[in-house]
Amino acid sequence: MTTVYFVVPCYNEEEVLPETIKRLTAKLEKLIAAGKASEDSRMLFVDDGSKDKTWSIIEQYSEENRYVGGVKLSRNRGHQNALLSGLMTAKEHCDCVISLDADLQDDIEVLDEFLDKYEEGCEVVYGVRSSRKKDSFFKRSTAQGYYKFMKLLGVDIVYNHADYRLMGSRALDALSEYDEVNLFLRGIVPLIGYRSDYVYYERNERFAGKSKYPLKKMIRFAIDGITSFSVKPLKLISNLGIIICVLSVIGFIYALVSLCMGVAASGWTSTICSIWFLGGLQMLCIGIVGTYVGKIYHEVKHRPRYRIEKTIINDEETESPID
Ligand code: UDP
Ligand code: MG
């Protein structure tokens, strides 16, 4: 029978966690009763350096609920790294892993379908949102525009799929060989290959707590996906380029008006417009190149992506050495 681990990254999720644990436990018990998951299946909550009571909630529940396990990161490393640390820890104990968010926005009623597809031989199963009716208009249009833009850039990404997915141990072994520091899991997983399938579900609203992805973070994550990372000062250059491009348009209008009013020296209009515009364009291009240089800079340093401070699985607690 399949031993499945649910991996749930959590950052300041004290408000949702007790309810999430309750609902997931009920679901896991049903799966076990139905013979779809083995008794050894677990839920692994990754505390991504939360500042609230997230870790103590995980610890407390793990004492009374044997299905609850935890991984505590030494500090906040972001959603993708937290997820990776959970996947890599779970990989050692199970046949397959299903990753999902702590707020249960992803419908857990379709977990059966994930496991059925795994039984049929799929190594990766992607959870795909069948509609985004519950998202705000802004989130829906920007997210969908983003997926289309990624496709246009030739990035192989599953449309309307976030990080709700099942991965078998072979896919996880493959994932562990991707060493990049600039982690964008939904871009990497399709590169792994193997047989895959989709499960469609309705995305719910967060039942408590706030989104940990405010607009600013969302934009940042989006840019990471395209270039894998960007370095602020380098990005500033491209922003400056855009501003100059806009100013050059205003300048262009001003120069045209001057020309029409006959106050401009002949040849001045075209010269000044091209200087402004090309200056802006060059800065923008340097900025884009710089973004990629910045990404190389981070990859070359190859810093560890996360550090696990503590792991709880079953009732045994292991503390990893801190160096
Ligand atoms: N998360 C995390 N580290 C972070 C930010 C978020 O582990 O630095 C987790 C968060 O606890 C949640 C998941 O990532 O389980 C997705 O975040 P959220 O639900 O806030 O994003 P949204 O659904 O609004 O895009
Ligand atoms: Mg969410």
pLDDT above 80: residue 225: no
Query: For residue 53, what pLDDT is reported?
Result: 92
Q: Does ligand 1 come within 6 angstroms of the Cβ of 280? A: no
Query: For residue 233, what pLDDT is reported?
Result: 52
Query: For residue 235, what pLDDT is reported?
Result: 64
CA of 286 to the centre of ligand 1 (A): 33
- Residue 222 banded pLDDT, cuts 50, 70, 90: confident
CA of 315 to the centre of ligand 2 (A): 29
More confident residue, 67 or 212: 67
CA of 65 to the centre of ligand 2 (A): 24
Q: Does ligand 1 come within 6 angstroms of the Cβ of 101? A: yes
Mean pLDDT, residues 223-243 taken together: 63
Query: For residue 300, what pLDDT is reported?
Result: 80
Mean pLDDT, residues 58-65 taken together: 91
Query: For residue 164, what pLDDT is reported?
Result: 92
CA of 102 to the centre of ligand 2 (A): 7
pTM over 0.85: no
Q: How far apart are CA 146 and CA 136, in angstroms?
A: 15
Query: For residue 249, what pLDDT is reported?
Result: 84
CA-to-CA separations, 308 to 54, 70, 103, 311, in angstroms, rounded: 16, 10, 23, 7
Ion ligand 2 residue ranges (Cβ < 5 Å): 101, 103, 105
CA of 197 to the centre of ligand 2 (A): 23
- Long-range own/partner contacts, residues 191-195 (CB < 8 A, 24 or more apart): 191/156, 192/123, 192/124, 194/122, 194/123, 194/124, 194/168, 194/170, 195/121, 195/122, 195/123, 195/124
Q: Does ligand 1 come within 6 angstroms of the Cβ of 258? A: no
Please state the atom number of ligand 1 nearest to the C-alpha of residue 83.
7
Query: For residue 323, what pLDDT is reported?
Result: 45
Query: For residue 88, what pLDDT is reported?
Result: 94
Question: At which residue do the structure tokens 């029409």 appear?
Answer: 260
Mean pLDDT, residues 55-78 taken together: 92
pLDDT above 60: residue 229: no
Query: For residue 269, what pLDDT is reported?
Result: 75
**Segment 144-195, tens digit of pLDDT:** 887 787 777 777 778 888 899 999 999 999 999 998 887 888 888 988 989 9
Q: How far apart are CA 65 and CA 63, in angstroms?
A: 6
Query: Quick check: 164 and 128 in contact, CB under 8 A?
Result: no
**Segment 33-48, tens digit of pLDDT:** 998 899 889 999 999 9
Q: How far is CA 190 from the centre of its chain?
A: 14
Query: For residue 4, what pLDDT is reported?
Result: 93
Query: For residue 317, what pLDDT is reported?
Result: 47
pLDDT above 60: residue 315: no
Half-sphere exposure of 94 (CA within 13 A, CB side): 29
CA-to-CA separations, 238 to 37, 63, 281, 287, 296, in angstroms, rounded: 51, 52, 9, 4, 18
Q: Does ligand 1 come within 6 angstroms of the Cβ of 78? A: yes
Mean pLDDT, residues 94-116 taken together: 91
Q: Does ligand 1 come within 6 angstroms of the Cβ of 10? A: yes
Please state the atom number of ligand 1 nearest to the C-alpha of residue 77.
8
Contacts of 164 (CB under 8 A, 6+ apart): 98, 99, 100, 101, 106, 126, 127, 201
CA of 101 to the centre of ligand 1 (A): 7
Mean pLDDT, residues 276-280 taken together: 78
Q: Does ligand 1 come within 6 angstroms of the Cβ of 11? A: yes
